[in-house]
Chains A and B, each alone.
Chain A
Amino acid sequence: MEPWTRRFFAAVLIGAVLLTGMQGAGWLPATQAQGPELASAAVSGALPAMDPASAAWGDAAPLQVPLSAQLVILPTRATPFTDSLEVRSLNNETHIAVRLSWADPVKDIYTTRQGQFRDAVAIQVAPRAGTPPLCMGAAGGGTHILQWKADWQADIEEGFHDLQDEFPNFWVDYYPYLMGQPPYTSPVNFSENARLYLVGYTVGNPFSQPVKVTAVEDAVAEGFSTITTQRQLDAIGRGVWADGRWSVVITWPKDSGDGQDVPIGENVLAFAVWDGASGDVGSRKSITGWVNLQVEAPRGPVELVLGVLLVLLVAVALVTLRSFRRQRKEREEKEREDEVILSGGEAKPVRARPPQTKTGGKLP
């Protein structure tokens, strides 16, 4: 092989490896973005579902989504709580995880006193085709809503935040049908008759269950006022508050099989944030618009090798073709030189000639 060929081949090869490597590292976008788009990077293995601080989140491209105050349905808040929300996403074969981070100077994690409201964040999932209205969908076009709540998480991490945790000096002589001594752990100490007085708990209201199995409510909505907790809770989540900032991960199955969930494929997402200290709850919230969700298929080592091989193959093909052309050109030049020598030494200008067929053609 000629030296120039080797150089060319090496350049192509190095370039291919570099490009592939950069794409794999996420330093280059997979495709060109149009409007806000959240790229969910693929990983192999487990997602950092319980760890917003995991280094794995560095692999996910962050998207800053601006927040505005919810102003469509009363009651409202006048201005958004904070300017924007940072969103990242990772996914694996079966699940998708979204990490949300926003500035919140005060950590609000209890709802025991009537003046306490808790911090929360929600993801609204909808199909990209036939996207329902942004404000929680509409009749016939529902949305899938996953709301992480700081007080549900506190119940899990600290144990149920009960009456005595806010009012340590409270006293009652007697709760009907209750045995034992104050402060009476809810609801373990409560017999069936005693639970008649914990009405929310007895009728199964998820907000009234002292034992929480997840900090994320899996819900559906078909327009304002309609949000309803699903029968099957498929999502988990965890938030960490540090230095005036919440970082919350919400993870759920791409296809749970639950008819009330929206499967992950071609989706749009929207987000909402509640600040307990401002008295946010329900419609008093800060919201975003829709964001396209671009889920990268997961890339394993096999794919990487195949990808590199493909690039090499193309490079080799290109080089081979070029080499072939060169060789033919050299052959033609040599033939012309031979002609000159044979015709008595006068060098005539070499001109590109149409290719001679083997059957026809004539010598000049």
Chain B
Amino acid sequence: MPQVQNWQLNRSMDYQYPEARPTRQVGAVFDINKCIACQTCTMACKTTWTSGKGQEYMFWNSVETKPWGSYPLGWDVEILDRQGAQPWDTSTDPPTFRGETLFEKAPPGERVEGWRPEDEDWAHPNRGEDETNAPIDPSLYHLTIPHAIWNFYLARICMHCTYPACVAACPRKAIYKREEDGIVLIDQERCRGYRECVRACPYKRSMYNHVTRISEKCIFCYPAVERGIMPRCMRNCIGKIRMVGYIHRPSEADPENPMDFLVHTKRIALPLFPQFGLEPNIYYVPPINAPERFLEQMFGPGVAEAVRLYNRMREGLEPELRAVFLLCVSTDKILHRFALDGSEAVGYDGNGIEVVRVPLQEPAVVRPFLDPANAVYRHNTS
């Protein structure tokens, strides 16, 4: 079994194929603190890609409320329970994963630990919406951070992993990872509908089409990405929670690249369930209102530091971070570089051209109450 290096685990691990990183790896950062679960991203993707017959249940982008929501039903509980709690060694910096990944824990006869959902598991995609982890307890004070009773929204697309379970699981190599940008695709000519990928993907982003009888998945809107434009789910985000760009390995991180800056330089954006071992490329800024233990289960040992840093930013102590977050969905172009130019955040495209400029502080003008010229008082009601 080949050994590959997984920087999120700070160690090498088993994988089906030898290490072969793409020339560039596209990825994104989602700031959970800003997501309002408006589902605009979900509907943008749905209307673009999965509105055909056989695709009705598919939502390549989905947003679920944590902790009670899940699409498909219990996708994370099921795989976490199969993998079991796995240990991290926090004595190293970065922490080292000492447990078994899904590849290392593959049962006999299988390439990866996994499970195949029933058809019914894909129903009720927004089950759990807005539900809190527990009933409201009036004896608790609810205006502290973190919240005494909490929930948050987890927006998900395909992770376009560096070590995809779907790629490893397909016995006929009908799934591949693009050399030029690391986007993972199912070859629609080559797939024979075995559904090994549906079983293997722990994030459950590979989906079987009932009519064409082969499987499909998020394509990261690669036709747009090839032209330097962000995917539909990203550029339609109302809350501007998403940053899209190209992520590098830690040793090659460029602090002027917004992705590298958030993930490597500041470590404020963390992978989802890194313990699975797939090196996923969608990163999350953890919600500051949720309990640390639940978040560590989801994002690994870097949660406390990420939350601390986010709170520093809210206090005005991290201008560069603030600049990057303000650049999120400020343009539909993929940003390759950012800069803090005085009191403005600037974004540059792949050709080094400035494509957007955002003030760190939104200009505000306060008019005097009395308008002497007309002898009236200015009110903001009629």
Asked if B316 lies at the interface with its beta carbon under 8 angstroms from chain A, I say no
Q: Interface code B34-78, partner A: CB below 8 Å = 1, 0 otherwise?
A: 000000000000000011111110000000000000000000000
Which of these, B50, B53, B110, contacts A186 with CB under 8 Å?
B53
Provide the bound-state CA to CA distance between A203 and B214, in Å: 12
Contacts of B116 in A (CB 8 A): 114-115
Question: Closest CB of chain A to B200's CB: distance in Å?
Answer: 9
Segment with Cβ contacts to A, from B205-213, B248-256, B305-313 = B205-213
Provide the bound-state CA to CA distance between A199 and B52, in Å: 9
Asked if A166 lies at the interface with its beta carbon under 8 angstroms from chain B, I say yes
Contacts of A225 in B (CB 8 A): 171-173
Provide the bound-state CA to CA distance between A224 and B194, in Å: 14
Question: Closest CB of chain B to A112's CB: distance in Å?
Answer: 5
Contacts of A198 in B (CB 8 A): 52-54, 211-212
Q: Contacts A203-B189, A204-B189; is A74 near B109 (CB within 8 Å)?
A: yes
Asked if A76 lies at the interface with its beta carbon under 8 angstroms from chain B, I say yes
Segment with Cβ contacts to B, from A24-32, A170-178, A294-302 = A170-178
Question: Which residues of chain A (109-165) have a CB below 8 Å from chain B?
Answer: 111-115, 151, 162-163
Chain B residue at minimum C-beta to C-beta distance from A210 = B211
A74 near B171: Cβ-Cβ < 8 Å: yes
Contacts of B216 in A (CB 8 A): 199
Contacts of B298 in A (CB 8 A): none
Question: Closest CB of chain B to A226's CB: distance in Å?
Answer: 7
Report, nearest first, the 9 A-B pairs whose CB atoms are least far apart: A197-B52, A200-B212, A208-B212, A114-B208, A282-B194, A76-B109, A225-B172, A200-B214, A74-B111
The 15 listed contacts between A and B (C-beta, < 8 Å) are A75-B109, A75-B111, A115-B116, A162-B211, A170-B56, A176-B52, A190-B53, A198-B54, A201-B212, A204-B189, A205-B188, A208-B211, A208-B214, A226-B172, A282-B172
Asked if B193 lies at the interface with its beta carbon under 8 angstroms from chain A, I say yes
Which of these, B111, B172, B188, contacts A203 with CB under 8 Å?
B188
Hey, which bits of chain A sit against chain B, CB under 8 A?
73-78, 111-115, 151, 162-163, 166-167, 170, 172, 174-176, 184, 186, 190, 194, 196-201, 203-205, 207-208, 210, 224-227, 281-283
Chain B residue at minimum C-beta to C-beta distance from A178 = B53
By CB atoms of chain A within 10 A, which of B116, B169, B194, B213 has the most? Answer: B213
Question: Closest CB of chain B to A88's CB: distance in Å?
Answer: 29
Provide the bound-state CA to CA distance between A167 and B111, in Å: 32
Contacts of A203 in B (CB 8 A): 188-189
Q: Contacts A74-B171, A200-B191, A283-B171; is A112 near B53 (CB within 8 Å)?
A: no
Question: Closest CB of chain B to A319's CB: distance in Å?
Answer: 67
For chain B, give the interface size range: 35 or more
Asked if B342 lies at the interface with its beta carbon under 8 angstroms from chain A, I say no
Contacts of B211 in A (CB 8 A): 112, 162-163, 186, 198, 201, 208, 210
Chain A residue at minimum C-beta to C-beta distance from B109 = A76
Asked if B81 lies at the interface with its beta carbon under 8 angstroms from chain A, I say no
Asked if B118 lies at the interface with its beta carbon under 8 angstroms from chain A, I say yes
Q: Knowing that A78-B108, A172-B53 are A-B contacts, what are 10 other residue pairs whose CB atoms are under 8 Å apart, sorted by A's residue number?
A: A77-B109, A112-B213, A115-B116, A163-B56, A163-B210, A186-B53, A208-B212, A208-B214, A225-B172, A281-B193
Asked if B198 lies at the interface with its beta carbon under 8 angstroms from chain A, I say yes
Provide the bound-state CA to CA distance between A75 and B116, in Å: 14
Question: Closest CB of chain A to B338's CB: distance in Å?
Answer: 36
Provide the bound-state CA to CA distance between A199 and B185, in Å: 13
Question: Closest CB of chain B to A155's CB: distance in Å?
Answer: 10
By CB atoms of chain B within 10 A, which of A111, A174, A201 has the most? Answer: A201
Provide the bound-state CA to CA distance between A149 and B133, in Å: 48
Question: Closest CB of chain A to B1's CB: distance in Å?
Answer: 11
Provide the bound-state CA to CA distance between A281 and B198, in Å: 13
B196 near A282: Cβ-Cβ < 8 Å: yes
Question: Closest CB of chain B to A223's CB: distance in Å?
Answer: 11
Provide the bound-state CA to CA distance between A166 and B198, in Å: 20
Asked if B359 lies at the interface with its beta carbon under 8 angstroms from chain A, I say no
